[in-house]
Amino acid sequence: MTKSITRRAAILGLSAFAALSLAACGGAPAAEETTEATTTETTESTEATDTTITVGASPTPHAEILNGPVKELLEEQGYTLDVVEFTDYVLPNTALEEGELDANYFQHTPYLESFNEENGTHLSAVTGVHYEPFALFSDKITSVTELSDGATVAVPNDTTNEARALLLLEQEGLIKLADGAGVTATTKDIVENPKNLQFEEIEAANLPNVLPDVDLAAINGNYAISAGLSLDDALATEDADSLGATTYANVLVVREGEENEPKIVALAAALTSPETYKFIEETYDGAVVPTFEITEASE
């Protein structure tokens, strides 16, 4: 009896061992299949990320330009452009710094440099795309030569835009600024004011609204567009080669060290293409001006 039980136990033990061995052998391919599937998904995800370009932009004109010719050109090269619109000037930079965006397009270099310095960010300009010219508007006169002695002139109350306004007034011979005042000029830097112009410093976005109350107003291009003002009706605009225009060109911005990434190179090329040049000129009627040159415009 004892021998029979012992023999049966041994047989059962061997059977169990064989079953476990078969289960283990059968489990190995399943693990390999799972690993392969995970690797494939990761590769596909990486490839999708590499061909998707996420760009933060102001609605007008930046997002419009990106969603127009730029998106089409990038699609032809196999890229998907995702434009995220921002209505402030802080979040597009913080989102880029934190890796939520691949690039942004809304700011000029002086603002970018100031932002980096104040916030410890590491963002870099890739290329200039356009500038929005300052222009002089009036509901009361048709030429700056008609300004009377003591006329009231509205200018922006922030340093950057006020300097551009004053440089434009100097360009038109209405005032003279101190040597070296440049892009940091304020009304305190006016050394000659032959018409005794009286300056009112107004929030830049509100300048179109005060036109009926002043003799002349210096208004930034983007605010002119938003207010329905046409540069055809402007008394004067910044020259394309003026200090204001060249300094405040809006730029494509990325994280430092990523300027030569393939998709950034493709994005920069699309933004400075003949197609984009033509789109800007035909869409904004001079309120947005390309700062890049092209050798041949697209038909």
Q: What is the pLDDT of residues 139-182, one digit of tens each?
A: 999 999 999 999 999 999 988 889 999 999 999 999 999 999 99
pTM exceeds 0.85 for this model? no
Please, which pLDDT band fits residue 258 given cuts at 50, 70 and 90?
very high
Which helix (DSSP H) or strand (DSSP E) does residue 220 occupy?
none
**Residue 115: partners with Cβ closer than 8 Å, 6 or more residues away:** 90, 93, 107, 121, 123
Which three-class secondary structure state does DSSP give residue 227? Answer: coil
- The pLDDT value recorded for residue 234 is 95
pLDDT, tens only, 184-233: 999 999 999 999 999 999 998 899 999 999 999 999 887 888 788 888 89
Of 75-89, 207-221, 278-292, where does mean pLDDT reach its minimum? 278-292
pLDDT, tens only, 33-80: 444 444 444 444 444 558 999 999 999 899 999 999 999 999 999 999
Please give the mean pLDDT across all residues of the chain. 85
Domain holding 162, by residue range, is 135-237
Contact 55, 104 (CB under 8 A): yes
Residues 68 and 201 in one domain: no
CATH number for the domain spanning 105: value is: 3.40.190.10
Can you tell me the mean pLDDT for 14-41? 41
d(CA 205, CA 227): 9
Residues 77 and 144 in one domain: no
d(CA 88, CA 97): 16
- The pLDDT value recorded for residue 49 is 57
Q: State percent of the chain over pLDDT 70.
A: 82
Residues 145 and 228 in one domain: yes
Would residue 22 count as lying in a domain? Answer: no
What is the DSSP code (8-state) at residue 295?
A: S
In total, the chain counts a number of residues equal to 299
Please, which pLDDT band fits residue 26 given cuts at 50, 70 and 90?
very low
Would residue 12 count as lying in a domain? Answer: no
Would residue 38 count as lying in a domain? Answer: no
Residue where the block lists tokens 């029979």: 4
The two three-digit tokens of residue 291, written as one number:
């700062």
The count of domains in the chain is 2
Q: Which of 130, 122, 164 minimizes the C-alpha distance to 255? A: 122
To the nearest 10°, report the CA torsion of 283, 284, 286, 288: -120
Please, which pLDDT band fits residue 242 given cuts at 50, 70 and 90?
confident
Count CA within 13 A, CB hemisphere, residue 14: 5
d(CA 102, CA 254): 7
